[in-house]
A = this chain, B = another copy of it.
Amino acid sequence: MTEVGHNSTRFAKDQLKAFVERIERLEEEKKTISDDIRDVYAEAKGSGFDVKALRAIIRRRKQDAQAAAEHELIVETYMNALGMLADTPLGRAAAERDLPNDNPRQAD
């Protein structure tokens, strides 16, 4: 298997090497960004902010964004289930009102 074997093997090897390099390059960039984020947190801490709270805020905002997206999904799903057209303003308003969105997780 020395002497390069089949050409296809040679090709596969080059291809693999290229993929590995691309991925490792990207992971490096990703690490750079992660370090930057860490630095910003450190800087915030240096300005007197509580890092834990700051992280909580970031997390919360992300959650909110996700929840909004999910909400849209639910509305659309209900629309489809009800056989209504989802893109009319009146239909959306009606759907809003009917959602079982009242009290999440109350004690039983």
Interface residue ranges, A against B (CB under 8 Å) = 1-2, 12-13, 15-17, 19-24, 26-27, 29-30, 33-34, 36-37, 40-41, 43-44, 47-50, 52-54, 56-68, 70-71, 73-74, 77-78, 80-81, 94, 97-98, 100-101, 104-105, 108
Is chain A's interface secondary structure helix, strand, loop, or mixed overall? helix
Q: Is the CB of A63 within 8 A of B67?
A: yes
- Cβ contacts under 8 Å, A33 to chain B: 26, 29-30, 33
In the complex, how many angstroms separate the beta carbon of A31 from the nearest chain B beta carbon? 9
Q: Is the CB of B104 within 8 A of A57?
A: no
Known: A13-B100, A65-B104, A104-B68. A19 touches B34 (CB 8 A): no
